[in-house]
Amino acid sequence: MEVRGREETERWIKHYSSAHSILLVGEGDFSFSLCLAMAFASATNIVATSLDSYDDLIKKYKNAKANLAYLKVLGASLLHGVDATKMRILPVFQWKKFHRIIFNFPHAGFYGREDNPDLITMHRNLVRGFLMNASSMLLPDGEIHVNHKVTAPFGSWNLEDLASEYFLLYVGQDDFRIEDYPGYNNKRGSGFRSDEPFPLGECRTFKFKLWPGVQGFDLIQTMPPEFQVPVKMQQQPVPLVRPSRYNDVHLSNGLRLNIDHKKECHRIFGAYLDHVEQTFGSTSYDVYHSVREALRLGFEMYMAAEPGRPPSGYIGILEELHHLCVLRSQRLRQMLLTLDQQH
């Protein structure tokens, strides 16, 4: 390694630097992580994860054992059994933020034709869950990268739309060329041919970041006013940001909910509240007030169960609840579509 005085020289490979803290999820045989580590001559800045357990990886991929051993020697943090759609509530990631969060070729498994709408929904849900989690694990100047095929039917996953659901800004896409990543072997990752590559064809690196000026969790209230709900959902143009209606969550014991955590609740539920209002129109029933009251009561009960505990746990519960709501509404929509097709 080149050394200048006591400072190590920063090394780059494509979009990634040895000075970045990098999280990789959904790794196959860990050859991509190892490629970065080799380029940096170190992996101390890398957290590499797989959904598979260590034992499954060794069975599935002939090079996984050697790749993982090498990564460990280079100082990588290796985690297995990490579901990218739930990772942010893992204790190991509490308060951990990254410059780059990478998911190479997310795919929910091989269950028949790739143009099957149900299968596309499964794949999109995987990316959706990943983006939701990654968005709260990103440093303010960080980027989420998803490498993805753009030929049909993969192009119809519409990653930009999914990202906008979590207030991520789509910053563009670059050609993905496997030869830029020496040693990387893309893997099918599921089924009895897990260790085989899939044809790459035309692929891109999709890049997303937090809205400028947004610090991690602090999303909804700092979003630019021009960020609107998609036109197709609107009955009237209503910006997602309505700070005046979100103000002041006072607890009955005289405490005030810490401003940052208050914003957290807004980030999680703000879009939901707007959606409710747009769907049902304005009624005498104040949905904002009711939800705010429910959040206040929930928070009081949470704190009463174990006085003095950090409010972050409550935020984690809300995130999980939000995720379940999204899944449930997708499921309901799917059921309605199926019913439509039957009649």
Q: How far is the CB of 133 from ligand SAM (least distance, A)?
A: 9
**Interface with ligand SAM includes 186 (CB under 6 A)?**
yes
Report if residue 137 touches ligand SAM, rule: CB under 6 A: no
Tally the C-alpha atoms within 13 A of residue 87's C-alpha that lie toward its C-beta: 35
Among 187, 261, 262, 292, binds ligand SAM (CB under 6 A): 187
Residues 6+ apart with CB under 8 A from 194: 28, 60, 61, 187, 188
CB of 239 to ligand SAM, least distance (A): 33
- The reply to whether 134 sits near ligand SAM by the rule CB under 6 A is no
The single-letter DSSP state of residue 211 is P
Contact flag: residue 178 with ligand SAM (CB under 6 A)? no
Which amino acid is residue 30, in one-letter code? F
Least Å distance between CB 264 and ligand SAM?
24
Smaller CB distance to ligand SAM: residue 199 or 230? 199
Q: Does 104 bind ligand SAM (CB under 6 A)?
A: yes
Query: Between 172 and 191, whose beta carbon lies closer to ligand SAM?
Result: 191
The helix or strand, by DSSP H or E, that contains position 319, with its residue range, turns out to be helix 312-342
Biggest distance spanned by C-alpha atoms of the chain: 75
Among positions 20, 45, 146, 189, the unique one binding ligand SAM when judged by CB under 6 A? 189
Min separation Cβ 87 and ligand SAM, Å: 8
Q: Which residue, 106 or 142, has its beta carbon nearer to ligand SAM?
A: 106
Number of H helices, E strands in the chain: 9, 11
The DSSP annotation for 159-190 comes to: HHHHHHHTTEEEEEEEE--GGGSTT------S
**108 is an interface residue for ligand SAM by CB under 6 A:** yes
CA distance 270 to 262: 11
Measuring CA to CA, how many Å separate 6 from each of 9, 10, 11, 46, 290? 10, 13, 15, 22, 58
- Give me the least distance between CB of 32 and ligand SAM, in Å please: 6
Q: Rule CB under 6 A: which of 39-98 touch ligand SAM?
A: 51-52, 83-85
Cα 113 to chain centroid distance, Å, stands at 26
- Asked if 216 interacts with ligand SAM (CB under 6 A), we say no
With binding defined as CB under 6 A, does residue 27 bind ligand SAM? yes
23 binds ligand SAM (CB under 6 A): no
Q: Does 133 bind ligand SAM (CB under 6 A)?
A: no
| Interaction between residue 107 and ligand SAM (CB under 6 A) | yes
The nearer residue to ligand SAM, 83 or 160, going by C-beta atoms, is 83
Q: What phi and psi, each to the nearest 5 degrees, are found at residue 328?
A: -65, -40
The residue among 303, 208, 233 whose CA lies nearest residue 261 is 303
**Residue 23 phi, psi dihedral angles, 5° rounding:** -115, 130
Q: Which residues between 265 and 294 bind ligand SAM (CB under 6 A)? A: none
- Residue 75: partners with Cβ closer than 8 Å, 6 or more residues away: 42, 43, 44
From the CB of 197, what's the least distance to ligand SAM, in Å?
Answer: 8
What DSSP assignment string belongs to 68-103? Answer: HHHHHHTT-EEEES--TTTGGGSGGGTT--EEEEEE
Shortest Å distance, C-beta 329 to ligand SAM: 19
CB of 6 to ligand SAM, least distance (A): 36
Which of 47, 68, 74, 126 touches ligand SAM (CB under 6 A)? 126
State in angstroms the smallest separation of the CB of 223 from ligand SAM.
28
List residues binding ligand SAM (CB under 6 A). Answer: 25-28, 32, 51-52, 83-85, 104-108, 126, 186-189
